[in-house]
Each structure stands twice: as structure tokens, then as C-alpha cells.
Structure 1
Amino acid sequence: MSNVFNEININFLFDGLYLTLVVALVTCIISIIFGTFLAITRNYGGRIARFLAISYIEVFRNTPLLLWMLTAVFVLPSFFGRANPAVWGTVGFSLYTSSVMAEIIRGGLNSVPKGQFEAAYSQGFSQFFTLFYIILPQTFRKVIPSMLSQVITTFKDTSFLAGLQIAELTYQSKIILAQLTTFEDILIMISLVAFIYFVICFSLSVIVRYLDKKTAYIG
């Protein structure tokens, strides 16, 4: 037990958890912003803009996440210069997740009655202000549960970064596991990491269920 629960290992794990949370948070922020842009472009952009948005979304959604992480970490530095691999891993992660968020947000946009546009136009609103002040607030209110579900998936998917030697939670636990010698210690270590993921993801899922019920009640 002491081989697992000691100050060095706990601090080591929490360093990895900190990076995991930072990557997940940054990825979610970028993907919501960029995903909103993609969703609006796909629904209301010109022909070329719609084609580009659709192509981006379909390409990223139908290819593996790890592929884009690998591309970001090993290809992008050749064009933009060297940086911490965690930065490039987050970039690849964000590019992929944006395509998923775009479809979630687009579903919300499609659920808003078209009469909302007509009413806004009749009051002199331009398309931009109609989207910004009237359509998007309703959209986000409808898709918050789905977006939070994707946030949970994003948090769990940070474990892919371990395959790129990036020191997030799973990678840090792998290093500790390599130093353990007994089955009991290995089992305890795996259980501890699983427990950390579970607590965070379960807490978020409780919030998702609450908001889902609240949204259904309001609807």
C-alpha cells in the first residue's frame, strides 16, 4: 500500500491530473467557439463557405481522434515551430472536437423555429444580430446537456495523449505502474486512477441529467 500511496506518487498523479484538466478545459473552450462558427457557416453561409464547413466537419468526424493528435504533434511543428507537445496535442484535440461540437450546436440551431428569424427581421435586426441576440441564446439553452456530455467524453479522451508521451494523468500512472512489482500494488494503482476519472465524469454526468430534466420540463 505504501508503494502506491506516498507523497511522491500522489504529487506525480496530481501533476498529470492538472495537465488533463487544463487540456480538457482549453479543448472545450476552443471547440465550442470554433464549433459554433462551423455550425453557423454550415447552416447560413454562402455556397463555398457551406461546402468548406461541411467538408471539415465530415472529414474530422469520420477519422480517428488519435490520428489528428499525431498530426498536430509531429507535423505542425515543422510549419509553426517547436512547442510543448501538450500544446500541439491540444490543438489536434480541439480541431477534432470542434467538428463534434459543430453538429451538436447545428442540431440546436435547427430546432429554433424559423419564425424567430422572420420576427427579428421585421424588427430591423440584421442576420448577425438575429443570430447573436435571439437564435444562439435559445440554441445553447437547448444543447447544454449534449454539450456537457461531450465535455465528459473530451475529459476521458485526454487519455489518448498518453500515447504521445504527454504527461497527463494516464501517462503519469503508466510510469508509476512500471515501477510497481506486486499484483496488489498494480491493482490499487489502476483502481485509484479509475476512481479519479470516475469521480470527475460521474459528477459531470449528474449535472447533465439535472439539466436534461430541467430542459425537458421547460420545453
Structure 2
Amino acid sequence: MIKNFWLLLFFLGPAMAADPEVGKILRPVEGAAFPPGEISIIATAPGGKLALDGQAVPAEQPFPDVLLAKTTPSAGIHKLELIWETGRRQLRFFVGDHPPAEFKPFRQHPPSALECTQCHGLSRKGRFRFTGGCFGCHQQETFLKTHHHPSHVLEQCGQCHNAHGSTEKAHLILPSEKACGLCHSVPELFKRQMFSPQRRGGAEAGL
């Protein structure tokens, strides 16, 4: 019987594991703080439903598996949930003038209203996906002034940035030291910064 159990787990394990790419709350983010007023919610999940503090949130579905909603919560800490058949995600955010220390101001991106289709489109299989468009607003010529890598290394802006808004500087998905750590170890990153050509040039000039 034990042998059969392990065989069953071996074959069903991959199917039972949660897919990290399925079910995402894109706006807001965990720990976001908002002033009083209306906030927008963007999420994606197959057959997904939204709930705020345990109450269903009506949402539009303009594209397959995409949920858009607007709500005006009362002041205080709130729990937002995204629920679908095989999973659930949740986060907390704050509404009010004086957020607790663990909540940081949320900066929406893009700052003005844009159509979803400016950056997204339907694939041949009918999936709504990112098709590009960052450099439709951002200047590619200034990329190297604010990034340590050329654009061909960082082809996907979403590796480091949240295109729908963030509580971090430059709409990073994590604080800068943690975002860089997704690909680099801290010692490696320190070594690259200390011995970069720009750094060596400054040291040789006595700067």
C-alpha cells in the first residue's frame, strides 16, 4: 500500500503543484498605501474571482482571464483575494492619510489612463499577453544612463519592474538590492560596482 502511495504521488505530484505563473494580482501590490478614494484592481487567473475583506468585488473581464475592477474602500487595512479553481492569492493594502510603517505609498504605472492593448494583445492561441510597448513612452536612448546592463541583456522590463505600479523606486518589483539579487549574488554585485571602468577611472583621478 505504501509503495502504491509513492507511485501515485510520483505521477500526480507535478499536476498537484501550484503553478507560480497562474493567478496574479498585478495591481495593487502587497503593502501598498493609498490616499482615500477610488483604487483600481488588475488581476489575471482562469475563471478568477475577486474578494475584498471577504466580500465579492464585481469585475469586468475585457480579455480572457483578465479581471479589472474599481472600488472605494473605507479607511484602514484591507485584504484583497484572487480566487480560482485551483488556487488563491491574497495581499494587504492600506487606505488613509496616515499609513502604518509597514505600508508604503503606491505609485501607479502608467500614471495616466492607457488602453490595455497599447502593451498587450491576443496571441494566436487566444491568450492575452505582453507584446511590448515600453519604449513607446520611455526613451531607449537614455536606457544606459539608468541601467547597469544594455537593453539586449534586459530584454524583458518585467524582470525588474512592475508595469502596473509599485511601492518601490522606479516601479521595481522589489527594493533595488533585492531586485538585483534575483540574478546576482551580493558579493558579485559589490565586486562589479567596485571594479567597474567608471569606478576605476574615478579612483585613478583621485575622486
Identify the TM-score tier after normalising by the shorter chain: under 0.3
Instruction: Give the TM-score taking structure 1 as reference length.
Output: 0.24
More helix by share: 1
Greater share of strand: 2
